[in-house]
């Protein structure tokens, strides 16, 4: 049975109860902004594979939305979220309001995402990653997990959270989970509910562009980027924000002669909806990716 906490006191009390009921063991957390879908369900299943207790946080964090972004219209589906948690045997759902997480109205002291937080997504969404790592730090303190599960679709976010945990000595293991996609390759996202049938068809060009870039990776960075751009340019419903190849351990842009593991990242608008995706590939490997 999934129990629900909405305050800090309820979280502390219910966490103790579910841990005692489980007879101890490791605790995992899956952090979400609600509007749960099959991708979140996969995170929960992976957490359940290793942990005796699984906690899900359902919090729409205002700190990571800039003025003019979609905070007000972001999908809110708590009843459906709770049902999914029950189906996936989540032990505790923590669903606080902003005043619970930020009780002093203004979060004057925040965690800095550092220089990697200012590029790519951070350049397109200034301050976004400071808001992300700040709320993740707070939720890690409040839930005190041994394991924290995050999806690889948000590759830059995942890198920053893992680096924060290591740099600030949080006693938790960050576990990454591969991106979950629909039958045509579109990465699952809560924002996909904004897409109509035409938009959804156009949005699948993002994953096709990444696969084209991966297949051309043997010929080097410039060929990989060119192949990906060609797919995106052919889809009239997509407006590109950025398409970049970066080193996976630093998020620095690769040089034209770079050889080795890389991440190909894309962000684009489909209609009025902004989507992101990525693929890991090997540049200059002398063979095409499968």
Q: How far is residue 242's CA from residue 65's CA, in Å, rounded to a whole number?
A: 19
Q: How far is residue 162's CA from residue 196's CA, in Å, rounded to a whole number?
A: 35
Name the helix (H) or strand (E) containing 262: strand 260-270
Q: How far is residue 35's CA from residue 205's CA, in Å, rounded to a whole number?
A: 24
The upper half-sphere exposure of residue 77, i.e. CA atoms within 13 Å in the direction of its Cβ, equals 15
Say if CB 60 and CB 33 are below 8 A apart. Answer: yes
Token pair in block for residue 266: 């894309």
Name the helix (H) or strand (E) containing 260: strand 260-270
Helix pair angle (38-50, 78-87), 10° resolution: 40
Q: How far is residue 159's CA from residue 265's CA, in Å, rounded to a whole number?
A: 13
40 is catalytic: yes
Furthest-apart CA atoms within the chain: distance in Å? 57
Q: In what order do the strands lie in the sheet with 173-177?
A: 3-5, 92-94, 53-58, 27-32, 147-151, 173-177
Write down the catalytic residue from 40, 104, 128, 141: 40
Q: Which residues are catalytic?
A: 40
């Amino acid at each position: 049975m999934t129990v629900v906490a909405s305050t800090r006191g309820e979280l502390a009390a219910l966490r103790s109860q579910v841990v005692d009921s489980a007879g101890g063991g490791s605790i995992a957390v899956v952090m979400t902004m609600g509007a749960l879908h099959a991708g979140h369900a996969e995170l929960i299943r992976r957490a359940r594979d290793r942990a005796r207790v699984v906690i899900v946080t359902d919090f729409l964090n205002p700190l990571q939305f800039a003025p003019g972004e979609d905070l007000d219209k972001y999908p809110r589906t708590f009843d459906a979220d709770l049902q999914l948690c029950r189906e996936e045997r989540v032990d505790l759902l923590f669903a606080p309001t902003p005043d619970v997480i930020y009780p002093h109205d203004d979060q004057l002291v925040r965690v800095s995402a550092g220089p990697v937080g200012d590029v790519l997504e951070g350049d397109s969404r200034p301050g976004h990653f400071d808001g992300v790592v700040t709320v993740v730090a707070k939720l890690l303190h409040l839930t005190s997990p041994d394991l924290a599960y995050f999806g690889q679709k948000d590759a830059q976010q995942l890198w920053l959270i893992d680096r924060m945990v290591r740099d600030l000595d949080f006693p938790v293991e960050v576990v990454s989970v591969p991106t979950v996609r629909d039958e045509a390759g579109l990465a699952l996202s809560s924002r996909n509910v904004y897409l109509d049938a035409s938009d959804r068809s156009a949005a699948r060009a993002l994953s096709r562009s990444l696969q084209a870039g991966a297949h051309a990776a043997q010929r080097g960075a410039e060929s990989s980027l060119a192949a990906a751009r060609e797919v995106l340019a052919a889809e009239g419903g997509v407006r590109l924000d950025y398409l970049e190849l970066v080193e996976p351990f630093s998020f620095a842009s690769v040089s034209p002669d770079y050889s080795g593991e890389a991440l190909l990242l894309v962000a684009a608008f489909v209609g009025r909806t902004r989507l992101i995706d990525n693929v890991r590939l090997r540049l200059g490997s002398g063979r095409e990716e499968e």
